[in-house]
Structure formats: structure tokens, C-alpha cells
Amino acid sequence: MATSAKSKPATPKAAAKPAAAKATAALPTALLPELLSKMQAGVIVLELSQTASKKTLNVAYANAMALKKTGLKDSFEPGVGLSKLFPNFEKRGITDLLLDALENGKSVSFEDIAYKPKVLQIESAITYRATPLAKQYLILVVENMTELKMIEEELMITAADLETARLEAERQAAIVRNMHVGCFVLKLESGNNKKEGGLFFDYANPAVGTMLDLSLNSIIGKRFADILPDLADKSMDLLVAVLKKGRTSNFEDITYRKDKLEIAQAVNYRAFKLGADRVGVLCEDITRARKMQELMEKQHD
């Protein structure tokens, strides 16, 4: 009896793998104009036009934001030459820059800054980034940077003014520091009593140290009446009046030798108000002039 071969069970087929989903889906071409028109970035498309002797760029498309940012809303017509729409580009060599970028397939960025006539003030500042597309087109992304550029320019001017002011202050400080006339500044400090308040040395140039025999390092921040008690006693009321009324006043301080027969030193002081709480004092040694004057008076007698 013939034995029949046992049939093997059919091997189930593996389920077909679903096709991998694409990372991105193509945007329907019909939606591109609407998408570009609603973008916040300005977009301009330039198309290469070429003859046997010359290459030019025409503006094939500009979205609403590009027209707004560049101020071309009323004058734009698709297909118009770039040099006609932006004559400044031709003058500045930007057209050649764009043609070179298109030929070499490289992106470039540039700025177009216009100034108000007869005034060194920015009227508009537009930045462009050009990206080549298929050797035939350039995509320009447009940003209006006028406000930022104006702020930047103001900051630069401010920085320049500050530097000028700093150099001028240094120059003036050098003049005061090196002049032969003494100069010191007294600052009014308030206090609960006379010992705490009063006039204190805030600045003194080297001529003061030489003229009044003072160590400058030891007097700054010290009370005027403690450093020069005799002079303070003679001039305090006058200096306070200068502070209160803002009037310039002159006075002299003459000291004699122990025998009181000859002038030891004569100094002329000129006090004036500085700011709200300071008195500036210029002092000049007039000893020789006063001695000569005294000698002439004695001879006349």
C-alpha cells in the first residue's frame, strides 16, 4: 500500500512593511504665492537675463513685506530691471556682486544705507542676503534695519562724544595740574555739629603744595580749618558767602616774619562756586609784588 507523502504546512508570508513615510511633504505649488505673501520676512526673486554681450538681473517677484521694507510698493512691476528699481545698486557695484554670487553659487550679504540730504542722519538701512538658485535665480531675503542702525549710529556718536569729552577732560586736568597758579577745591560737608561739618579739601594741584608748603597726599579729605587754620579763620565767612550767593570773591593773605618788619609771603586768592557744594580757589604768590609796593611806599614816606 503506497504511503502518501505528508504535505508540509504552508509557511506564512511576512506582512508587507509599510512604505517609510517621507520626512517632509512637498508643498503644493499653488500655495507658494499665498505663503510668501504672508511671510514676515521680505523676499525678492531675481532672474538672470543674458545676451551675447551682457548679463542683467530682473526682479521676477517681490512679496508684500519686501515691498514694504524697501518702500517700492507703488513702483514695482514684475520683470523690471534691478538697476531701474534699485539704481543705487549699480553705482555701488552691488549688481556685479550679485552676478558673481550667482555664477559661483555663493550666498552674499550686503547693506543699503541712505542718508537724509545735507544731514548726516540715516534715512533708511536695508540688509539683504542673496542665495543662488539653479544658476538662474537669486533669492533675496530683505530686512529693514533702519531703527537698529539709527540706534547703533547714536551709540557710536555718543561713544565718540564721550571719548572726546574724556580727552578734553584729561587735557584740562593736565593744564590745571601743571600750571604755576595754585588751585584747590573745597567741598561742603554737612554734619551734626561744627566738628563734623564744614569745608574739606577735595582737590589740590602741585602748585598749592609748593606755595603753601603742604603735602598734597595728606590734605585731601581733611578739614580746611585743620590744615590752614589762620587762612580759614580769615576767609571762612567769605567762602561760605561764595557758596550761598554764587559770587566770585578775591582776597589776600599776607604773613610777616617774626620781627613783623618784612613780608614773609603774600598770596592772592580768588574763590568761585563749583556746582552745588564746592568752592574753587585759585591762589597766586604775589610776595615780590607786595614787597616792591611796600618798599616804594616807605621811600615815598
Locus of grid cell 555718543: 158
* Domains of the chain by residue range: 35-144, 179-300
Fold agreement between 35-144 and 179-300: yes
So what's the pLDDT on residue 21?
44
Q: What span, in angstroms and rounded, lies between the C-alpha atoms of 53 and 215? A: 84
So what's the pLDDT on residue 75?
67
Could you tell me which of 258, 262, 251 has the C-alpha nearest to residue 292? 262
Return the beta strands (E) in the chain as ranges.
42-50, 55-62, 80-81, 108-115, 122-133, 137-144, 182-189, 198-204, 249-256, 263-274, 278-285
Q: What is the DSSP letter of 31?
A: G
So what's the pLDDT on residue 149?
74
Q: Find residue 131's DSSP bridge partners.
A: 139
Spatial CB neighbours of 114, under 8 Å, sequence gap ≥ 6: 88, 122, 123, 124, 125
So what's the pLDDT on residue 16?
53
In order along the chain (301 residues), what is the average pLDDT of each group of 10 residues?
A: 47 50 50 63 86 86 81 74 83 89 90 76 82 86 78 77 83 84 90 70 92 90 93 93 90 86 89 91 90 77 60
Q: What span, in angstroms and rounded, lies between the C-alpha atoms of 52 and 72? A: 31
Could you tell me which of 253, 222, 251, 254 has the C-alpha nearest to residue 239? 251
So what's the pLDDT on residue 201?
94
So what's the pLDDT on residue 279?
93
Q: What is the DSSP letter of 223?
A: B
So what's the pLDDT on residue 38?
63
**Superfamily for domain range 179-300:** PAS domain (3.30.450.20)
So what's the pLDDT on residue 189?
87
So what's the pLDDT on residue 39?
65
Q: What CATH class is the domain 35-144?
A: alpha beta
pTM: predicted TM-score of the whole model, two decimal places: 0.49
